[in-house]
Amino acid sequence: MSSPQSRPGDPQITPELVSEHGLSPSEYQKIQGILEREPSYTELGVFSAMWSEHCGYKNSKRMLKLLPTKAPWVIQGPGENAGVIDIGDDLALVFKIESHNHPSAVEPYQGAATGVGGILRDIFTMGARPIAVLDSLRFGDLNSGRVRYLFSGVVQGVGDYGNCVGIPNIGGEVYFDKGYEGNPIVNAMCLGLMKKDSLIKGEAEGVGNLLVAVGTATGRDGIHGATFASEELNEDSQSSRPQVQVGDPFTEKLLLEASLELIHSGYITGIQDMGAAGITSSAAEMGGRSGNGVEINIDWVPVREPNMTPYEILLSESQERMLVVVKTGHLKEVQAILNKWELEADEIGCVTNDGLFRVTEENKTVAAIPCLALTEGCPTYEREGKESPEIKSLRSKDLSHLKIKSSGYENIFLDLLGSANIGSKRWLYNQYDTTVRTNTVIAPGEADAGVIRLRESNKAIAATTDCNGRYVYLNPRMGAKAAVAEAARNLVCVGALPMAVTNNLNFGNPLKSEIYYQFREAVLGMSEACKLFETPVTGGNVSFYNETSSTPIYPTPVIGMVGIIDDIKHLTRPFFQESGDEILLLGNNTDELGGSEYLYVSEDLVAGEPPIVDLLAERQLQHSVLSMISKGLLQSAHDLSEGGLACALAESAFGNETNPFGVDVVLQDRLEPIPLFFGEAQGRIIVSCKKHSGNQVLQTAKNHGVPCRLIGEVVPASSGFRIAGRTVSVELDIETMSDRFFNAIPDLMNQKNDP
């Protein structure tokens, strides 16, 4: 192996320098072994980025292997820029979720915006046109001024970027809990659509083909972003602002159009976003996947600033850049396409046959590392996991003697409707363009999942993101199962068959045994649920080190799930349609209260055993609802989640503000009123059907072995809302409820105090 030269000004490699690069002494030894010599400073930087948690998945890879990834409809599983599934009619759906938690914690607007930018590029570099975005967000308590700043900045960042590029936002979720105070979670998911034969991969094919950098010039922004994302946040993190990249959605839109045109032109063999670890990761990954090598001539890389070193150029995370492999002799044609879109394209190197990631400067080699050592050689660890005794005792807390607050059921119910977690999320999605591209048939806030129709057929695509971090915190395995089950339930409620999953695993520092325990348990739970629901995981993202001053976030394995509605006429919404319609409950009420929003709002408590998920019962429930929908029996279907039965009924009643209804429901369960009304037992869906069709619904449920009963009827809004148990009846007028529900977040955002 030709030895790279040390450059004038390169610092001496010391154990401290190695440690600053996030590499352990044994990892450094491994590098020495691979190279059979000492690395140069440039090479140390390259290894540091590629072997960071963010790029190398060193503490997660072994567990991730346990997830199911295959199914006959999976065209591309984990390992590429995004997952791909076959949706029939010669079409393929491309989708992925990604996190931008750390950048958003220090610079919420740009952090969130560039998160959206990155995930869009992952989709269109596969050859697909992005058709929808979803965002999964977590923040602390909105009573804190800092949290309001982070929340409004992130929402504007997500919105401005997607709005400008012109991709509709069709859903997602946001939770507020003190558990996310200093470390918000910003996960963005994107869906893309393409003809199956347009699929292109991030591979450096064809020795002698040219490596071409497209898009903005390389600057000093975001250097070592991947390494930054692999550390805990602390008081000094604000000084990391220069590591946060700045987004340019206008250039992104041009890149999007140009990339799709390039892919269809046939002049290129591979294309990849320069995301985390910039040129380094894109070139090494493309070389690694094809088994070829890559050579980069650092003098040819267009730069924004003078005197940038190879180290800086290789590790910059300047946004809106792509690496393209151009067939020999076609550079002119490629440049013509890019110039039409006002973009620059510069040859920066070529595909070689020696398997090396080689970088030259003025004809001298400054780095020469086997591609596979960078992409596959990163050491992986399986660590010891042990449950934290504090969480264990929280989980065992006895909740059976809780009494309702003296303010009474009506006021607690209103407090729940007005809580940031249950209240309407209109404040957010009114900042997102949801209707551009004129294919959105269910926009955010209109159902449990977003839906995009396909112009090419009668089908529609549904997508959702889900995860209740409190459940996962209290019982990681059960909580992860609940996340998968709820995502599937959400899809089923709009009439979609769940097909596949992309996941975003947000956790604290995996080197701590109690965090690794959460991670391992969550992956195991997710794996079990995804297997049973036949929804393979086609890719995703792991985000560790989500801690502020050593306090970890709730473990939050977000599930992004996609499904297919076979015939758009079966599209179903959660809102009641007509007075006199019958309301039925599928699934069983239980006395479970652990991890509920009720406990958080009323008792300021996150404790207890989270609701148990019976995966087989879930699957039967989902099949029965899909069967009811395809028979045309249902007027509405709505999943039960935070706030339980009472809140779900309220959402179905007046969630559609232009057409509100009342509800009259009587329950015979032998349960205490608190868990009956507000408990979050899993595996439940409320449906409504036309008067006198209840029997057919009951029969269908019975055929699927699903418990189902008539619980009441839809009444005019003027008749109000009544939910009655055996001992307690709660009655409220719709206007009061609706007012609390729709003003929940605006009221919190408008407060000026900062306690």
Instruction: Please state the closest distance from residue 430 (CB atom) to other proteins, in A.
Output: 5
In the complex, least distance from residue 439 CB atom to other proteins, rounded to whole angstroms: 8
Interface region with other proteins, contact rule CB under 8 A, candidates 117-125, 160-168, 588-596, 619-627: 160-168
100 is catalytic: yes
* Angle, CA 569 vertex, CA 565 and CA 570 arms, to 5°: 55
Q: What are phi and psi of 707, to 5 degrees?
A: -65, 135
Give ∠ CA 696-701-707 in degrees, rounded to 5.
130
In the complex, the smallest distance separating the C-beta of residue 159 from other proteins, rounded to whole angstroms, is: 5
DSSP-derived secondary structure letter, 590? -
Comparison of 435 and 699: residue with beta carbon closer to other proteins: 435
Q: Under 8 Å CB-to-CB from 752, ≥6 apart: which residues?
A: none
Q: Decide if residue 735 touches other proteins (CB under 8 A).
A: no
Nearest CA to 152 among 751, 755, 749, 618?
Answer: 749
* Helix, strand, coil share of the chain (percent; to 5): 40, 25, 40
Q: How far is the CB of 120 from other proteins (least distance, A)?
A: 12
Is residue 342 a contact point for other proteins (CB under 8 A)?
yes
| Single-letter code of the amino acid located at 315 | L
Does residue number 320 form part of the binding site for other proteins (CB under 8 A)? Answer: no
Q: How far is the CB of 250 from other proteins (least distance, A)?
A: 3
Q: Report the distance separating Cα 566 and Cα 458, nearest Å.
A: 7
Please tell me whether residue 567 adopts helix, strand or coil conformation.
coil
**Pure H helices in 554-614:** 597-603
- Of 392 and 569, which CB lies nearer to other proteins in the complex structure? 569
Write each residue from 229 to 258 as x if it is in contact with other proteins (CB under 8 A), else as -, in one continuous string. -------------------xxxx-xx----
Catalytic residue (choose from 21, 54, 224, 570): 54
Q: Least distance (Å) from other proteins to the CB of residue 546?
A: 28
Using rule CB under 8 A, residue 165 touches other proteins? yes
CB of 435 to other proteins, least distance (A): 5
Stretch that binds other proteins, among 22-30, 156-164, 281-289, 576-584 (CB under 8 A): 156-164
Local structure of residue 237 (DSSP, 8 states) = G
Residues 6+ apart with CB under 8 A from 8: none
Asked if 499 and 622 count as a contact pair (C-beta separation under 8 A), the reply is no
| One residue of 159, 469, 555, 574 binding other proteins per CB under 8 A | 159
> Residue 401 or residue 455: which is nearer to other proteins going by CB?
455
> What's phi and psi for 95, nearest 5 deg?
-155, 150
- d(C-alpha 343, C-alpha 347), whole Å: 13
Token pair for 662: 């009342």
Provide the minimum distance between the beta carbon of 268 and other proteins in the complex, in angstroms, as a whole number: 21
Show the tokens assigned to 396. 């065992």
Closest CA to 462 of 430, 497, 437: 497
- Which ranges in 51-107 belong to alpha helices (H)? 53-56, 61-64, 101-106
137 contacts: CB under 8 Å, gap ≥ 6? 151, 154, 155, 158, 172, 173, 174, 175, 184, 185, 186, 187
Q: How, if at all, do strands 356-361 and 293-297 pair?
A: parallel
Distance, in Å, from the CA atom of 368 to the CA atom of 563, rounded to the nearest integer, reads 45
Please report, as a single letter, which amino acid is at residue 738.
S
Q: State the first-to-last Cα distance of the chain, in angstroms, to the nearest integer.
A: 61
Residues 415-444 that bind other proteins (CB under 8 A): 429-438, 440-441
Q: Which residue in 568, 612, 617, 710 binds other proteins (CB under 8 A)?
A: 568
The least distance separating other proteins from the CB of residue 426, rounded to whole angstroms, comes to 8
CA gap 352, 329 in Å, rounded: 16
Which of 60, 319 has the CB closer to other proteins?
319
Q: Which is nearer to other proteins, 460 or 697 (CB)?
A: 460
Q: How many CB atoms lie within 10 A of CB 231?
A: 17
The smaller minimum CB distance to other proteins, of residues 455 and 752, is found at 455
Residue from 6, 24, 156, 577 binding other proteins (CB under 8 A):
156
Q: Is 166 in the site for other proteins (CB under 8 A)?
A: yes
- The stretch among 153-161, 191-199, 317-325, 369-377 that binds other proteins (CB under 8 A) is 153-161
Provide the pairing of β-strand 210-215 with 440-442.
Answer: unpaired
CB of 488 to other proteins, least distance (A): 25
**Alpha carbon 240 to its chain's center:** 24
Catalytic-residue membership of 54: yes
Smallest distance from the beta carbon of 261 to other proteins, in angstroms?
Answer: 13
b/e per residue 649-666 (b: at least 16 CB within 10 A): bbbbbbbbeeebbbbbbe
The b/e string for 551-575 (b: 16+ C-beta within 10 A; e otherwise) is ebbbbbbbbbbbbbbbeeebbbbbb
Q: Which stretch binds other proteins (CB under 8 A): 152-160, 196-204, 350-358, 727-735?
A: 152-160
* E strand intervals along 644-719: 661-666, 685-689, 708-716
Residue among 25 and 166 whose Cβ is closer to other proteins? 166
Secondary structure (DSSP) of 339-363: HHTT--EEEEEEEESS-EEEEEETT
Nearer Cβ to other proteins (148/489): 148
Residue 746 makes contact with other proteins by CB under 8 A: no
Taking the complex as a whole, the smallest distance from the CB of residue 434 to other proteins amounts, in Å, to 6
| Cβ–Cβ < 8 Å for 383, 16 | no
Alpha-helical segments (H) within 442-475: 469-474
Nearer to other proteins, 198 or 431 (CB): 431
The upper half-sphere exposure of residue 149, i.e. CA atoms within 13 Å in the direction of its Cβ, equals: 12
Number of chain positions touching other proteins (CB under 8 A)? 31
Nearer to other proteins, 437 or 690 (CB): 437
The residue among 29 and 430 lying less far from other proteins, judged by its C-beta, is 430
Looking at 100, 102, 570, 638, which residue is catalytic? 100
Per CB under 8 A, which region of 157-165, 192-200, 480-488, 629-637 contacts other proteins?
157-165
Task: Give the residue with the Cβ less far from other proteins, 256 or 348.
Answer: 256
For other proteins, which residue of 453, 481, 489, 740 counts as binding (CB under 8 A)? 453
Binding status of residue 743 toward other proteins by CB under 8 A: no
Amino acid at 677: F
Nearer to other proteins, 188 or 500 (CB): 188
Q: Which of 687, 593, 595, 706 is nearest to 648 (CA)?
A: 687
Q: How far is the CB of 196 from other proteins (least distance, A)?
A: 21
Q: Which residues have C-beta within 8 Å of that of residue 425, sequence separation ≥ 6?
A: 174, 444, 445, 745
- Residues forming contacts to other proteins in the complex (CB under 8 A) are 156, 159-160, 163-166, 248-251, 253-254, 340-342, 429-438, 440-441, 453, 455, 568
Question: Could you give the residue numbers annotated as active site?
Answer: 54, 100
